[in-house]
Structure 1
């Protein structure tokens, strides 16, 4: 039997270099290598736009000898964790490299790479050029000359990336800084410099503030950024430094207990406060400020209003717009509440919007609508009278009354959501039965339009319109067509739109003929004097193969399966119940 072996094609280097989604992510891989090598300082130099200058990444880590280069660095896909474990030997850092391909990261944006490294009084270097790969069939066949000489330079590694790929986007310092801050922003004993400037709070994208603060007998400096980037920050909050040393984890100085600031908004806050002296108010292990100490009190009193103002300055308008949109949608329902409930309904909605800041509106609207349902159908009279009676009494009693209202309010919302989940279970059960008819699901659904989504929950039935439509239908659908009329036609929601629903039995597979029937109803209405927008929903058990695709359907037409409607509605209300209230 003839023995053969795998051959590593030179194209592998190209494929590995393409493993990175952006040039900044590729450079971050080289900095990860410096972290693993226990560097305490990394300097990144980026070229000017469209210049021929190289990218340079230099660190003061452990470096490599020629033997280490040959046996480890040049060993593709070798996992250092298998050999040395998950932590670096001296600083006990958790090792980031795990695939053994980070060495090719620079080749994504350049065609030439030179690596120089110093370790144990030896200097080693080699150069690697993409053009060489085209001359050889496999990486093992390609010669690589490694230079070696004696050296007295301290340990470290320098990677120079030349001949940047002009067809790709140049790496930018700003984008690189955002990635590095997210990963290394709170790491001690690991200083990163980009184009000569140390990475700091002021490099984070957003609104930066630096302010001097007087604290009794001492002074402090606050440096803080409220970021507008989507990337999640590592350890948000304000770090406390006393005499240059970080004390414990970042904190929010009471803002995390404030009802005015949504918790998700606090994740955008990133900074540090430096103090001189005050080390008597630190725990013995330097793990935190002593709770209730003079320093903690003075910092909280000074920083809380500053941070609160900065957060509201950046996100206040956005929060207001989101609230305004949802409040506008709910205005019609609020206006129909008894007068003594309207103010509480508006405040309760604001409370929900603040609490769930930055949740998508598709998730917030069901919460708002269920809350309004609870206010419309629950007896709040006793609680509201209690609050009104407490309004002119001492502050503590009034606060207690408001708290009681909050408990009742949230309990009613949760109860309403639970009832809707029970309804969905019932509907799912009857849809699974072969004997279930259109009339059965019609009866179950016509009073529960919320299950189609929040955009349909505000449609209402109008008796006068219903009578007019019946008179029209009586003339239009006669003889053989008498039993072929729309199942449900309602008016109207807050935008003045109307809703036409055509049901088919749950065992029926929807066809193109069903689609034509539903849209023909709408066309009939438009041709007979109804000029408002009419939304059409066609519902059946399954989607047939001849139905038009979404792109080819008429505007404002939905084709849905009972199972999908039930599943979507169930997810919304389970989300509401599972830890949201």
Structure 2
């Protein structure tokens, strides 16, 4: 037996299948791990050293090792298909063999210029080095590695150590990132204990596990395989193992979005959706691994060299792709239903929205319509619980309106899928486009109110109760924002509400009525005079006194941030002091003086613009 080692190769092979194909550290390490798995290793240790001038990686396993003959006839043979050449589909201990093409040994030269190999088997130790530059410069397509030990007797256990030297890498070794990347590439770590360490520091040691890739994921739902519900007609459905999981929040690591495929414990296709529609929100929330070992039994080799993707041009892989699309479709549908159920429970519990009770009281047709509108809200992951509760509450509030139901039905009919929900929500949020028609009808009816008000003004109505009741009923004449009323109240009653034990020093004085705006932030005090009353300085000061008193003793304790007083009369005084004070009080937003004529013109102008705008918009 010759005591020299020979590497036979084509120079282009070294460049294209070593340096170019394996330029990233995790890919190189994954090839070494595959070899350790096939060698029945139980423990793998990868030590990273960051020296002053260079970096080094020491890879060591306790596998069966290689004899000198095996090193020469197997390890140093480029492109040897270990499965077909030896008919070896399983390792000595029964593991399904991962390595196939015989190219992994070149991977190390993708990141370094020199390697040292030490292998022990059957009590003999063999040790040699290989240099990339020397390989490239060798002649006759043969290279003789430098042999440092030949069948040297040893009592050490079997195993292989590979030292990567002269590493072409400027950045340091991030063990967390390396461990995570390796965890993504395999599902074998429950059977092969793998740990990585840096600079010999035991505190830096990380164990690479199958679950490491899932540790930071906020899991919500999962689907286990095999399961015939996806398509029992697919011939390999019961051979597919694994699980698909969805998260509560989008998968941050975009590389993990989708479903990985593995064969014999190693990925053969990176995370993907295999041609399923890619605009589904579901795609942002799902990851998982499915074992498709049966593809190794296909007549043709469908696994690419870099193991990033299968060859989908074969009849058998196209059938697999169709099955995967069905899986994604079914899981996507169930995911939306499960998410909707969880969100509904939160909406009803946290926001007291009685949706189920509301739906149960609707006629069948309206219940179906309600579900068609509301389900997309619950299923949309971009809408949180709070916003969902608000939107659903809005739907429930407006559902009695026939125009709204007709509009919602049309939108639901036009929506091809739940993915159209943003359009639906925008249209629902812009309910004003529907309300505009109703507001136009409302505005027209208000014209009649304005005409009646104009009649009161023109006829110089003397009775305060007449004007009082009219403005109370149609408060929008004063200010469109005014909403609620507290009619005919006194200071005593107000203070009794806020300060039950307070003793009033002020005289019991009458206010025509109190009201608030739509947001409940402003308290309005309304003083109504007869239509022939001239508002003077005394009336202005009295109004200011009202506002000041209420602001000090009442408003701040009941949620109002501001008190505004209106004095309504037939005309305004011409006195200089009145004009100055009116301007000052109006500027501060505390007291406003309005004549009935001003209110009339203000209301007519406001509704005139509204009607004209609507007519122009819908011309």
Shorter-normalised TM range: 0.3 to 0.5
Scaled by the length of structure 1, what TM-score is found?
Answer: 0.38
Indicate the structure (1 or 2) with the bigger Cα radius of gyration: 2
Scaled by the length of structure 2, what TM-score is found?
Answer: 0.36
